Structure formats: C-alpha cells, structure tokens
Amino acid sequence: MNQHRQKQVYLFFGNQDLLVQENAEKCINDLLENRERDWCFERYDLFEMMKESGDEASRKIDEFLMNCETQPMFSDRKIIRLDHSEQLKKPNSKNSLSPHVRLFETLTRILADLPSYLFLVFTSPVMRDQEFSKPLFRKIQEKGQVQKYVAYDDHSPLSWLQQRVREKGMKLDRNALLTLIEIVGNDLNDLDQELEKLKTRFSEGQEIDEEKLKTSVRGHKHTSAFRMAEALALKQLPLALEILDQQLNEAPRDQVRLFSLVILQYRRLLNLHYLQQMRVPESDFPQKIKLPPFLTKQALKQANQYTCYELESIMLELSRLDLEVKFHGGLSRLMLENLFQKICLGFFRELKE
C-alpha cells in the first residue's frame, strides 16, 4: 500500500489479463484509502474513445480532458483508470484542433506536471514496451510505476496455480496441476475458471488426482486442441483433421496457438528419444520433460511411433513453417492440413530412405 501512496501514475500490461486486472484493481483500492469510490474514481476505455470520429469524438475527448483537469468536488483525490493505453500514440494529423491530437498532447502535458489530486492507472493487453508511445511510456516510467505480466507459449504458471489452490482451500497435487496446465493452457483466467468449476464439482477437502481432473475438464475450450495434438502424435489423421477444422471454424485466427501446440508436442517427443539414447531412467522422464507421470507414459507411447530421425525432420519442417503460419493467415489452414498429412502418412520417415 505504501508504494502506491508514493506514486501518481501506474501502468499494468501484458497478456496475462487476470494479473493485469487484479493488480490494477488492488492499486486503485490502495489509492482510494477508504474514500467513497463513486466520488473519486472513473474509468475510460481508450480503444472506444479513439475509434470515434467527428463531433462524437470531440465530445467524449473534451469530457475526459475536462475531467482530468477539474479538481474533485467531494474528495481530495481523483483516480482515473485508462484501459487500452497502447492506443495513446501521436496521431499523424497535423491539425492541432483534431480531438485525437488534443488527447495525446493534453495527456502528455498532464503527465509532465501532474496535479497533486490526480492519479492515473493505465492498463493494456500488449506484450511489448515498444507497442506504447515512446514519450508517454518514458513519462510513466519517470513519474510512476510499470508492471509487466507476460507469459509466452512455453511458460508454465505452476507456482501461481499452487498458490491459487491453497487460497481456494482445494487439494490438487503437483501432477494434477501440471495436467491442468497441459490441457487448459497457461492463461491464468482460464486456469482460475477451471479451478472454480472443480471447486463446485468436488466436495471441500476432496483430493483431485490427475484422472479425476482429466475427466472433469473435458468440456474446456482448449481440450479439443489438446486432443488434436494427441491424435496427430498418434498419427490418427482423420481425427486430427476433424478437430483442426472444428477449431479453425470456431476461431479462424487461432492458427498460431494451434501450431505452437504442435511444436510443443513434437519437441517433447524428440526430447524423449534423446533421453532414451542417453539411457536416462524412465522414472526421471517426468521431471525432465515437465509432465506428470501418466502424461509422460502417454507421450512415450507416442514417441515410440517415430524414429529419432523422423522427429528431427518434423522439427526442421516446423521451424521452416513457423513464420509462414504467423504471417500468411489466409493460407494457414492449408499449411496445417498439409503438415498433418505428411506426418501421419510417414513422409518424414521416408526422407532418409
């Protein structure tokens, strides 16, 4: 709480939306210090504000700027939350009367010399510092505090999940939690929602092991993608293509996440081959590839359907396709379907021959 009293500007950003939202809200509550929220807090969405044009844009921006520069009537403090702050960039327009130009320039001026009563809390879903306006980002760093909450595809939020389970009074061991991450993914919102569902399904204090968990989360939106990668690894082409088609019909822009899941799957299978070649005991495999034992057994069964050379060839192909899938969205479905057929029909096994 004391750190929030020392600053007047905060930025919380990243793709871990749950942490962004929770920490922004905690900061606001600390800044309120038991003051009446309705009298000294307001929230604006800059994405909505910036997409307006003409008279409506002028009206909304004028109202916002006036609010920033007007001392509160019933409190000594005014807290304003600004969502989608990555939208605050210097417009190309040279018209000084343009509402978007006035918004950028006025906020830049306010940040340079903050009134003692004003506290600004910025949030954003972007992952990189470079996606913000450089001068505004520097000002926020100089005047306040920046907190970044970013998770990449291979990030495993096990520690966070263990703490969340304790807070909810639930009983899931490490292997069960690793299984949950494997099936659901590493988005904290999704993981937290699944914990809440499990909490209502099982009685208080009941132990939830891997098998119970795997059965309970079948309906999750990521489970189909998990089954797709599993079917592909087992070379079950019709099922893998059916799930791929279903996933892309429901979310046409989800090709990068699906492709990342395939990369993760085959990287694990190749690592299992390498562990076998190094004569590492099978009992050590779960720790080495960061999977619970029963999922490691499944992965080992899948790995044994491939030669080491075949898996290395698949990984080279995945590396070659990486940028194409990311930047040629319109062709990504065809690329993935072609990749699935090559894998399942043994194309990469035959290369050596």
**C-alpha to C-alpha distance for 214 and 209, rounded to whole angstroms:** 9
The better pLDDT of the pair 88, 55 is held by 88
Q: Which is nearest to 79 in space by CA: 109, 44, 124, 48?
A: 44
pLDDT, position 1 = 46
pLDDT for residue 121 is more than 90 = yes
Q: Does the 2-148 domain belong in CATH 3.40.50.300?
A: yes
Cβ proximity of 270 and 315 under 8 Å: yes
The answer to which of 170-179, 262-271, 305-314 has the lowest mean pLDDT is 170-179
What's the predicted TM-score (pTM) here? 0.60
Which tens digits make up the pLDDT trace of 220-251? 556 677 888 889 999 999 999 998 888 888 77
pLDDT exceeds 50 at position 263: yes
pLDDT at residue 317, rounded to an integer: 92
Would the pLDDT of 271 be above 90?
yes
- For residue 62, the model assigns a pLDDT of 81
pLDDT digits (tens, 9 = 90+) for 184-196: 877 788 889 889 8
Is 30's pLDDT higher than 90? yes
How far CA 117 is from CA of 39, 78, 88, in Å, comes to 13, 6, 22
Distances (CA, A) of 313 to 245, 264, 323, 346: 25, 15, 17, 11
Per-residue model confidence (pLDDT) at position 252: 77
Q: Taking the domain 221-353, which CATH number applies?
A: 1.20.272.10
C-alpha 168 chain-centroid distance: 22
Angle at 24 between CA 19 and CA 28, to 5 degrees: 150
Task: Give me Rg for the CA atoms of the chain.
Answer: 25
Are 283 and 276 contacting, i.e. CB atoms less than 8 angstroms apart? no
155-218 CATH choice from 3.40.50, 1.20.120, 1.10.8, 2.40.160: 1.10.8
**DSSP 8-class letter at 266:** H
Residue 353 has a pLDDT of 47
Look up residue 267 and give its two tokens: 């990287």
Indicate the burial class of 127 (C-beta count within 10 angstroms; 0-12, 13-18, 19 or more): middle
Q: Where are the domains of the chain?
A: 2-148, 155-218, 221-353
Instruction: Check residue 207 and report its DSSP letter.
Output: B
Instruction: Quick: pLDDT tens for 153-201.
Output: 556 788 899 999 999 999 998 888 888 887 787 778 888 988 988 888 8
Q: How far apart are CA 338 and CA 350, in angstroms?
A: 16
106 confidence band (pLDDT: 50, 70, 90)? confident
Give yes or no for a contact between 60 and 114, defined as CB atoms under 8 angstroms apart.
no
Report pLDDT for 234: 92
- Of 207, 192, 179, the C-alpha closest to 298 is 179
